[in-house]
Amino acid sequence: MVEKFPIKLFVIPLLVSAKLRAQNSDCQGIGKNCQKDGSCKSCTSNPDCGVTDGGEVTDQPACDTASGQCTACRSNNDCPSSTPNCGDDGGCYHCNAPGNRCGSMDGPQGGPNDGQPHCDALTGLCVNYCTADDQCPDECAPRCHLNRGCCVQCLESDDCPLANWRADQAAYTTCSVNSFTCVKGCSVDDDCSTDDKPACSATSGDCVECLYDYHCSDGVTTVCASSQTCVECVTDAHCDEGESCVELQCTTRTSATSTVTAGVLSLISAFVLLF
Beta strands in the chain (DSSP E): 33-34, 40-41, 62-64, 69-71, 85-86, 92-93, 118-120, 125-127, 143-145, 150-152, 174-175, 182-183, 199-200, 207-208, 223-224, 230-231, 243-246, 249-252
Please report how many Cα atoms fall inside a 13 Å half-sphere around the Cα of residue 154, on the Cβ side: 21
Residue 12 has pLDDT above 60, yes or no: no
pLDDT in tens, 63-94: 999 989 999 999 999 999 999 999 998 999 99
pLDDT band at 21 (very low <50, low <70, confident <90, very high): low
Q: Which of 6-10, 123-127, 129-133 has the lowest mean pLDDT?
A: 6-10
| C-alpha to C-alpha distance for 106 and 85, rounded to whole angstroms | 8
pLDDT in tens, 136-167: 999 999 999 999 999 999 999 899 999 999 99
CA dihedral 131, 132, 134, 136 (to 10 degrees): 60
Residue 134 has pLDDT above 70, yes or no: yes
pLDDT band at 220 (very low <50, low <70, confident <90, very high): confident
Residue 270 has pLDDT above 50, yes or no: no
8-state DSSP, 25: G
> Can you give the pTM of this predicted structure?
0.58
Fill in the amino acid letter for 7. Answer: I
| C-alpha to C-alpha distance for 144 and 53, rounded to whole angstroms | 40
